[in-house]
């Protein structure tokens, strides 16, 4: 067994980069707690988004997320001189200029900052214990001077939903001294926050507010961008000369006092060390599980980051008592479509089969009239939204991938079979949003129900009502899955029924969707209207296990997509030759949504593209190396170092240099390239794949 601790991935950023303000302010870090909560900021510890902060807590895990602690500002005092380590941005000014004292930054695996003020050296490390609403800041301070010094720590406290900003006139705090710290409670928005330092003294400082902190990223997006933070007091830590001082600051939060006090026992040094060791060991186990199951895979730093990042999206859902998947950080919730697309890469490729089962059960529990939820809104509790034509179809694919890795038909029969039958029959007969099987056995659906669902002023940017190409591919795949399961579970009548539907759907699709003049597939068919926009949705028809597209046409589709939509870090959502193409994703909501699916590059599409490409090349060694070097290597080698450190962004500009945009850490951006790398490039195939797929007697 390989010793993994010394191979824990590491990103190091030295003095040259840290002193380059314009570059450093764009580099962000994030740590999560498995409940939907997180801590995140830039490497300069200057918050540039309303979504940045040291402690975000999910009041209804994994949603209803609130900021309780914005940051901790540090200051070194030597004699009568004060030297800030912190900086905050206000309109037109960065104040104070403590970021200039930052000499280095690492992720190994947690964000760690190195400061130096004359002879005082400060190491600051941030981690979150798993499944606890708390954040711990580890400090190690070496005072190399011959005189004593003081470290003052100023917490900036808040209480707001993470989509909002705070005006000090709308919020009040009460504070109560406790051993080694303070308990704060907010009114009228209720929350409780405990702050404790294992060294030094807490000194109340009256009602001090740091007003109108400016978030540059939110301003650039046309969103509210000025926030007020409450500074209740400070911790004073004396630094003896020529001594090293190690201590911890712990922040514990919740909606009610009992939730915060629940974890207060962990504020002692011995417990903090235990929590830290447990989290390091948990991460090492994730890596060990992956490499033990896939012994021929070479250990790589970038690959380790992908595995650890995959873990950050797998969260507990309170309403089901089971796992779910956060679609992306900072702002996405658990979306059905995203979760089910990401499930194979996040859980099956990484050997987390029980987590995969729980995620399937979570979405099964909320199945309504044959539809899997599209998403769980962050502010609306547990009432999901169902406006998706594809989330339910991706559910079938996720079940198929689960079977390919586990062969566990017993779980599917006991827990999922009734739901799968309900979904398919509802789609055949008709369900919400005009979703129903047509006479040609293809699937009809309403507008704004596919993954290209952006709208401006209530009007869909990419209206795709009728029969969208990827919906038909997923529908055929779902029918074939039902054929397999019906055969396995001994229902010959159903087996034959789904096989006939699938055969007719495939015949209809290949007759109606082929755009002979363009040598690719129409994007949408609606009665007599055929949309010939060159979009990446057609790649789904060439990558699924049960391909609705005739083999002779798959290579032409792959070539058309590669030639017309390649964007270095993924596929463009619309050809640059189209008059509607928008190559830069910037501006307010309207401008961004207009570009979202009209040129923006999507990283998750790398997975289907690489799979389709290598399937068409029969997985020959030369083409597998070619695919890695040309399709996957740029995002694996570069992207983990240039936006969200150690993770992959949601989207990229369609125009060079393809700047990262959207969420700094996206579930399917990690999951699909990782899956394609393991399964298709390394040819580390699911162990039950052949047996499962061969149950179907018809050609795929």
The reported pLDDT for the residue numbered 268 is: 80
Q: Which two tokens stand for residue 643?
A: 């936006």
Average pLDDT for 276-295: 90
| 67 φ, ψ (degrees, to nearest 5) | -85, 130
d(CA 205, CA 203): 6
Reply yes or no on whether the pLDDT at 301 is more than 90: yes
Q: Which residues of 276-299 are buried (b: 16+ CB within 10 A; e: fewer)?
A: beebeeebbebbbebbeeeeeeee
Q: Which two tokens stand for residue 665?
A: 């850490």
Average pLDDT for 206-231: 95
Number of alpha helices (DSSP H) and beta strands (DSSP E) in the chain: 21, 36
Q: Which two tokens stand for residue 338?
A: 């995203």
pLDDT grade, residue 380 (50/70/90)? low
* Residue spans of beta strands (DSSP E) within 144-225: 149-161, 172-178, 181-187, 191-197, 201-214
Quick check: 669 and 332 in contact, CB under 8 A?
Answer: no
Q: Shortest CA distance to 563 belongs to which of 544, 552, 576?
A: 576
pLDDT in tens, 51-72: 999 999 999 999 999 999 999 9
d(CA 431, CA 427): 6
Average pLDDT for 540-549: 97
Quick check: 573 and 535 in contact, CB under 8 A?
Answer: yes
Reply yes or no on whether the pLDDT at 354 is more than 50: yes
Q: What is the mean pLDDT of the chain?
A: 94
Quick check: 135 and 123 in contact, CB under 8 A?
Answer: no
Reply yes or no on whether the pLDDT at 496 is more than 70: yes
pLDDT in tens, 437-477: 999 999 999 999 999 999 888 889 999 999 999 999 999 99
Instruction: Give the end-to-end CA distance of the chain in Å, rounded to a whole number.
Output: 40
Q: Is 568 exposed, middle or buried (0-12, 13-18, 19+ CB in 10 A)?
A: middle
Reply yes or no on whether the pLDDT at 382 is more than 80: no
pLDDT grade, residue 27 (50/70/90)? very high
Give the residue carrying structure tokens 């609403």.
133
| 374 φ, ψ (degrees, to nearest 5) | -75, -45
Quick check: 136 and 194 in contact, CB under 8 A?
Answer: no
Q: Is 510 exposed, middle or buried (0-12, 13-18, 19+ CB in 10 A)?
A: middle
The reported pLDDT for the residue numbered 698 is: 45
| 187 φ, ψ (degrees, to nearest 5) | -145, 145
Q: Positive or negative CA dihedral for 346, 642, 94, 221?
A: negative
Q: Is 688 exposed, middle or buried (0-12, 13-18, 19+ CB in 10 A)?
A: middle
The reported pLDDT for the residue numbered 255 is: 87
Flag the least confident range among 93-102, 123-132, 581-590: 581-590
The reported pLDDT for the residue numbered 263 is: 61
User: Could you give the maximum distance between any two Cα atoms of the chain, in Å?
Assistant: 87
d(CA 275, CA 278): 5
Flag the least confident range among 127-141, 247-261, 304-318, 587-601: 247-261
Average pLDDT for 476-481: 98
Q: Measure the CA dihedral 300/304/305/306, to 10°.
A: 100
Reply yes or no on whether the pLDDT at 700 is more than 50: no
């Amino acid at each position: 067994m390989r010793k993994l601790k010394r191979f824990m991935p590491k990103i190091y950023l030295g003095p040259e980069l840290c002193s380059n303000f314009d570059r450093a302010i764009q580099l962000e870090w994030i740590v999560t707690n498995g409940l939907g909560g997180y801590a995140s900021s830039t490497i300069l510890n200057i918050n540039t988004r309303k979504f940045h902060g040291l402690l975000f807590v999910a009041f209804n895990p994994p949603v209803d997320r609130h900021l309780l602690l914005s940051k901790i500002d540090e200051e070194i005092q030597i004699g009568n001189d004060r030297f800030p380590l912190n900086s905050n941005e206000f309109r037109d000014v960065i104040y104070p200029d403590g970021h200039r004292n930052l000499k280095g930054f690492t992720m190994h695996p947690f964000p760690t900052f190195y400061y130096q003020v004359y002879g005082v050296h400060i190491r600051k490390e941030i981690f979150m214990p798993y499944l606890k609403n708390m954040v711990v800041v580890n400090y190690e301070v070496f005072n190399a001077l011959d005189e004593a010094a003081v470290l003052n720590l100023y917490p900036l406290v808040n209480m707001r939903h993470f989509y909002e900003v705070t005006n000090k006139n709308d919020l009040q705090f009460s504070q109560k001294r406790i051993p080694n710290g303070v308990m704060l409670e907010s009114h009228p928005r209720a929350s409780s926050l405990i702050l404790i330092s294992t060294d030094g003294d807490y000194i109340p400082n009256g009602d001090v507010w740091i007003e109108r902190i400016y978030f540059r990223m939110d301003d650039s997006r046309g969103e509210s961008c000025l926030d007020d933070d409450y500074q209740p007091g400070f911790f004073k830590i004396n630094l003896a000369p020529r001594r090293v001082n190690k201590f911890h600051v712990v922040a514990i939060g919740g909606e009610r006092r009992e939730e915060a006090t629940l974890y207060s026992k962990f504020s002692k040094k011995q417990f903090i060390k235990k929590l830290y060791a447990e989290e390091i060991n948990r991460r090492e186990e994730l890596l060990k599980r992956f490499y033990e199951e896939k012994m021929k895979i070479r250990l790589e730093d970038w690959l380790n980051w992908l595995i650890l990042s995959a873990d950050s999206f797998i969260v507990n859902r309170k309403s089901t008592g089971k796992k779910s998947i956060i679609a992306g950080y900072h702002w996405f919730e658990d979306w059905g479509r995203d979760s089910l697309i990401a499930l194979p890469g996040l859980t099956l490729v990484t050997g987390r089969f029980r987590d995969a089962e729980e995620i399937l059960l979570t979405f099964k529990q909320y199945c309504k009239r044959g539809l899997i939820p599209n998403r769980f809104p962050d502010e609306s509790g547990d009432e999901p939204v169902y406006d998706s034509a594809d989330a339910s179809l991706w559910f079938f694919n996720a079940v198929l991938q689960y079977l390919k890795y586990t062969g566990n038909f017993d779980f599917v029969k006991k827990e999922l079979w009734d739901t799968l039958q309900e979904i398919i029959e509802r789609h055949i007969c008709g369900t919400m949003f005009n979703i129903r099987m047509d006479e040609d056995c293809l699937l009809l659906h309403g507008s704004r129900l596919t993954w290209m669902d952006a709208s401006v002023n209530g009007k869909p940017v990419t209206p795709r009502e009728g029969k969208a190409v990827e919906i038909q591919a997923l529908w055929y795949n779902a029918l074939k899955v039902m054929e397999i399961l019906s055969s396995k579970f001994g229902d010959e009548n159903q087996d034959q029924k789904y096989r006939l539907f699938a055969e007719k759907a495939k015949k209809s699709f290949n007759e109606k969707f082929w755009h002979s003049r363009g040598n690719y597939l129409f994007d949408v068919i609606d009665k007599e209207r055929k949309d010939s926009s060159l979009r990446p949705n057609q790649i789904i028809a060439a990558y699924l296990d049960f391909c609705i597209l005739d083999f002779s046409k798959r290579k032409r589709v792959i070539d058309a997509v590669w030639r017309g939509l390649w964007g270095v870090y993924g596929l463009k959502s619309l050809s640059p030759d189209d008059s509607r193409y928008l190559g830069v994703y910037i501006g307010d909501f309207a401008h961004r949504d207009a570009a979202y699916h009209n040129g923006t590059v999507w990283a998750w599409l790398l997975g289907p593209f690489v799979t389709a490409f290598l399937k068409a090349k029969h997985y020959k060694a030369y083409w597998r190396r070619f695919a890695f070097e040309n399709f996957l290597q740029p995002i694996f080698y570069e992207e983990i170092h240039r936006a969200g450190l150690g993770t992959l962004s949601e989207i990229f500009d369609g125009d060079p240099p393809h700047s990262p945009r959207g969420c700094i850490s996206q579930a399917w951006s990690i999951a699909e390239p990782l899956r394609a790398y393991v399964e298709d490039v390394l040819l580390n195939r699911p162990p039950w794949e052949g047996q499962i797929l061969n149950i179907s007697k018809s050609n795929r």
